[in-house]
Amino acid sequence: MNIVRALKCRECGQEYDIQPTHVCEFCFGPLEVVYDYEKLDGYFTRELIESRPQTMWRYKELLPINGEPTVGAQNGFTPLVRARNLEKVLGVSELYIKNDSVCYPTLSFKDRVVSVALSKAVEFGFKTVACASTGNLAGSVAANAAAAGLESYVFIPHDLEQGKVLGAAIFGTRIIGIKGKYDDVNRLCSEVAGKYGWAFVNVNVRPFYAEGSKSLGYEVMEQMGWKAPKHVVVPMASGSLCTKIHKSIKEFIQLGLIEDNGTAMYGAQATGCSPITKSVKDGTDLIHPVIADTIAKSLAIGNPADGYYANRVINETGGWAEDVSDEEVVDAMKLLAETEGIFAETAGGVTLGCAKKLIESGKLPRDESIVLCITGNGLKTQEAIVDAVNKPRIIDASLKDFDALAEADGFEAAV
C-alpha cells in the first residue's frame, strides 16, 4: 500500500508531486515527504510488521518507495543491546545501545538512507547515482550501487586518507578527488548535482534519502516491546537523524502502534564542529556555520542543512545538546568497547561522551530509559585510537616468559 502524498516545503507548506527535487521553488525551504496516514487505519498493525522479515523494510509503508525495495533489501534491523555494564559505570537504570555499527552491508546507518535513496532512484529511472562524502556515505553508495547494478560516482576531497578511499574504491565506483578549500569542493558538488542527470543521494533525492533514517527509530520502538524510550541521544552531523527519529516516534503514536511516552531528543556533537549544539546552548535557532576541526570526521558538517530543524526538535521535546572534546571522544570509544564489546567509530564516542556529560549534569535522568544511537563501526576510524589502546607485550616463545607475565597479572597455573 502506497500512502505517500507529496513533497511538502517545511517552511511555506507548498506541496509538489513526487519527483527528484529537494528545495521549494518559492522560498528555498527543504522539501519533506508527507503521507496520508489514515490510509493505514486497521491495516498497519504490530502483527503485520512482526510477520515480515527482520529488515528495515518491514515498515515499508512508512518509507517513500512504491512496492518492494530494489536496493538494499537485506539492510537494517540491527541489534538493540541492553547495556547493563555501562549502566553500572554511568549510574543509570535503563540504558540501551542501538548498534548500527553492524548495519548491513557497510557497517554504518548510511546503509538505511542509501537503500531508500537508491530504490527511489531506480523508480525514477536513474541509471547513475552519486554522492559527496569523506567516509561512510561514500562506501554505502558505492556498495549498494554495485549490488543493484547501478553506475556510481563518489566525490571526495583530493587529500582524503587512503583507507577511506579504499572503503569506496573496492566496489568499483568512479572516485573523483577534488582539490581546493572545503567550501569550493562543496559548491562544485552541488553544481555537479544540478548539472548532470544523476541521482545525487543527498541533493536531488535528499527528501527520500533522509526518510530512511526513520527505520532506526521504528526498530528501537519495536525492539523495546512496542514502546518509545524516554530519552534518545543521537549524533548530529546535518541534524537529519535527530529530526527523523523524532518523526518516526510521532508516526508510530499517530498510527496507534505505541503510546506517547513524551520522548525527549538529545543531540551530540564534537566540540570542534558543534554549530547545532552551540545554537541550543545559546538559546537561538540560527545556526552559525563553523570550520570543522575534529577527529569525528563523520560528523564534520560545519554548515548543517537540518541544523535549524534539529534545534527545534530538541527544544520542543524538552531535550538538550552537548559537545565533547576529541580526548573525551576517544575515552568514550574505549569505555563502550570495554564495557559492552562494541567498537564504535568516533561518532559513537561523541554520542556516549555527550550522554555521560548529560547524565552528570542532570539533563538526562538516571532512572528513565535512555537509548544511545551508535551509527558507525570503529574499524573505519582506527587512526583515532591507535595511540590510546594497550600495545601487545612482546615475549620470546618461552613458557617461562609467559609464566612471569601471568604471575604479574595475578594468575596462577591451573595444573
Partner 1 sequence: MQLRVYLTFDESTVREPLIWKLAREFDVVTNIRTAEVKDHMGLVGLEIDGEDAVVEAATKWLADQGVKVAPIEQDVIEG
- The piece of 121-129, 187-195, 210-218, 224-232 that touches partner 1 (CB under 8 A) is 187-195
Q: Measured between alpha carbons, how far is 372 from 376 in angstroms, rounded to an integer?
A: 12
Q: Measured between alpha carbons, how far is 42 from 3 in angstroms, rounded to an integer?
A: 14
Nearer to partner 1, 166 or 286 (CB): 286
Nearer to partner 1, 4 or 114 (CB): 114
Q: Position of cell 554520542? A: 351
Q: What one-letter code names the amino acid at 301?
A: I
- The piece of 98-106, 281-289, 354-362, 404-412 that touches partner 1 (CB under 8 A) is 281-289
Q: Which of 15, 183, 327, 338 binds partner 1 (CB under 8 A)?
A: 183
What minimum distance in Å lies between the beta carbon of 171 and partner 1? 17
Element (H, E) at 114: helix 110-124
Element (H, E) at 193: helix 182-195
Q: Does 190 contact partner 1 by CB under 8 A?
A: yes
Total residues at interface with partner 1 (CB under 8 A): 46
Q: Does 166 contact partner 1 by CB under 8 A?
A: no
Q: Does 199 contact partner 1 by CB under 8 A?
A: no
Side by side, the strands of the sheet bearing 31-35 are 15-16, 4-9, 31-35
Q: Measured between alpha carbons, how far is 248 from 255 in angstroms, rounded to an integer?
A: 11
Which residues of 222-301 form beta strands (DSSP E)?
Answer: 231-235, 264-270
Q: Which of 13, 149, 163, 289 binds partner 1 (CB under 8 A)?
A: 289
What minimum distance in Å lies between the beta carbon of 379 and partner 1? 15
User: Widest CA span of the chain, in angstroms?
Assistant: 80
Q: Does 131 contact partner 1 by CB under 8 A?
A: yes
Q: Which triple of cell numbers denotes residue 202?
A: 543527498
Phi, psi angle pair for 292, to nearest 5°: -70, 140
Q: Position of cell 547513475? A: 128
What minimum distance in Å lies between the beta carbon of 315 and partner 1? 17
Q: Does 132 contact partner 1 by CB under 8 A?
A: yes
Over the window 79 to 118, marking each residue x when it contacts partner 1 by CB under 8 A and - when it does not, the resulting string is -------------------------------x--------
Q: Does 144 contact partner 1 by CB under 8 A?
A: no
Q: Please give the full DSSP string across 22-57, using - where no structure is assigned.
A: -B-TTT-PBEEEEE-GGGGTTTS-HHHHHTS-SSGG
Q: Does 347 contact partner 1 by CB under 8 A?
A: yes
Q: Which of 5, 16, 21, 29 binds partner 1 (CB under 8 A)?
A: 29
Q: Measured between alpha carbons, how far is 249 from 215 in angstroms, rounded to an integer?
A: 10
Which residues of the chain form contacts with partner 1 (CB under 8 A)? 11, 22-23, 26-29, 110, 131-137, 155, 157, 182-183, 185-187, 189-191, 193, 200, 202-203, 206, 237-238, 284, 286, 288-289, 297-305, 347
